[in-house]
Structure 1
């Protein structure tokens, strides 16, 4: 049976402003711009937006990018497409090397919502080949602008061909329900009942259950399972032992976690983990 998480003090969060997107603005001469930041776990990049779309990924470490509509878990095997002018924030789940590719509007796909993409070997190579020197400094490679213009059409083609994966957790517009949802996202191991969670926001269990149906089109149990799965999948993808993932997800036994996982995905956690490790070393 799932366990109720014991009381503990959360790790301190370091909050930083947007990571200088103005120093990497794409234009007609340089339609692709790439930036790189090394950030520690529990760093929070505050809500911001910019007038060009971006592709965010990490070469190591797992991040969670959030918008007004939901939260997206992004392990190193995936990238997240964020449309232009969409407010977003980023939470570092673990130490990460964060890379962001900005694209000029005329070049980018016309997607209007966030998309989680599987990174192909070619896509990864193209993104890592881009110069990450900010404006105001000479590029490390003097040929960077020319190379960016040559890389751009092939990278966009790879983005449009990429497999899109549903690994998001939708968030409600109701402020009280959003507070409840965000509390679970901060601590997926907490197995408090819906009645207990409802009390923390001054609502009845019945009211909260109705809000889940009305705002998100799913039950509390369905949403909680999706949130726990979004937390567990990247842990498995980077090779964490199933027993550790089960504990981090609030399960007292591996068997209970495996049963939930298989019911949700049709596969065991071990088979998913093996597939991801193979893909990463291919």
Structure 2
């Protein structure tokens, strides 16, 4: 399904820009599936969070699939694009550039705590200028800065043939096609594509595909799907094979990793 640029009315960014006096501002957008917030940047940082639904955030040569129990920190002046993979209640926290949250200039995937979720809900209900706004902002800044960061990132290539292949796999992570199958579609040899994976992404085709499948795992688990069905939808031969790969990446089994998550 083609993505649709977002065209509905929303506040001007200049009206919602954070300031030293109001360091955190919140933008709420309820979006349908396959809507696109085209590539843009701004002078402040942003925590992109979907209370419901799943979004895909793309920055340069990297993309992240972000389910409700996750958010992504985007530093100031970083060009980013947001696409809804399903209907989403998007909540964007604009954070003043002088607020120190994370070292370095890269994006970070955040584990959203129950407290942070409730603080975001509360901030959305506060009238502009209300005395509670400053208190909630301070708590949000503290909670975001304490959030655990997670290694959920899918690198994207520059080569057009390889990028087209990668986009198809992101859209259909369970595809059983081999690298040679994809090569025939791309009009190249399997050996050529294998070299491109190593050169542009620093990993093999199978390693990159595992990253894509794990990126899709959290949204499926957040919907309450049994692990056996998650494994099947992601193209794993068995639940145990999926669980083993998950544990190898995150250090915990899927059941243990999500045991403390409350998805509402």
Matched, 1:14 2:4: yes
Alpha-carbon deviations, 1:187-240, whole Å to 9, x = none?
A: 223222212212333322111111111111111000011111211232013312
How far the C-alpha of 1:17 sits from its partner, in A, is: 5.6
**Aligned-residue CA RMSD (Å):** 2.6
1 CA distance for matches of 2:105 and 2:157?
A: 19
Matched, 1:246 2:238: no
Alpha-carbon deviations, 1:53-108, whole Å to 9, x = none?
A: 10011111121111112111211111110111112112222221110000111124
Which of the residues 94, 106, 123 maps onto 2:98?
Answer: 106
**Do the aligned partners of residues 240 and 28 (structure 1) sit closer, same or farther apart at CA in structure 2, a change above 3 Å counting?**
same
Q: Is the contact made by 1:64 and 1:90 (CA closer than 8 Å) also made in structure 2?
A: yes
Question: Following superposition, which runs of at least 4 residues in structure 1 exceed 6 angstroms of deviation?
Answer: none
Structure 2: tracts of 5 or more residues without a match: none
1:265 alignment partner in structure 2: 246
Alpha-carbon deviations, 1:14-69, whole Å to 9, x = none?
A: 23269656142112232111011111222222222212110011111121111112
**Do the aligned partners of residues 112 and 244 (structure 1) sit closer, same or farther apart at CA in structure 2, a change above 3 Å counting?**
same
Q: How does 1:84-95 map to 2 (within 5 A)?
A: 84-95=76-87
1 CA distance for matches of 2:232 and 2:206?
A: 19
Alpha-carbon deviations, 1:90-134, whole Å to 9, x = none?
A: 2222221110000111124254111011112222222222247xx
Matched, 1:123 2:109: no
Matched, 1:158 2:158: no
How far the C-alpha of 1:278 sits from its partner, in A, is: 4.3
Q: How does 1:82-231 map to 2 (within 5 A)?
A: 82-109=74-101, 110-131=103-124, 141=127, 143-144=129-130, 146-231=131-216
1:29 alignment partner in structure 2: 21
**Structure with the larger RCO, 1 or 2 (CA within 8 Å, 6+ apart):** 1
1:40 alignment partner in structure 2: 32
Q: Is the contact made by 1:237 and 1:272 (CA closer than 8 Å) also made in structure 2?
A: no
Secondary structure at the residue paired with 2:51? Answer: strand
More displaced 10-residue stretch of structure 1: 158-167 or 231-240: 231-240
1 CA distance for matches of 2:255 and 2:31?
A: 25
Matched, 1:276 2:258: yes
**Do the aligned partners of residues 87 and 16 (structure 1) sit closer, same or farther apart at CA in structure 2, a change above 3 Å counting?**
same
Structure 1: tracts of 5 or more residues without a match: 1-10, 133-139
With the length of structure 1 as denominator, give the TM-score of the two structures: 0.81
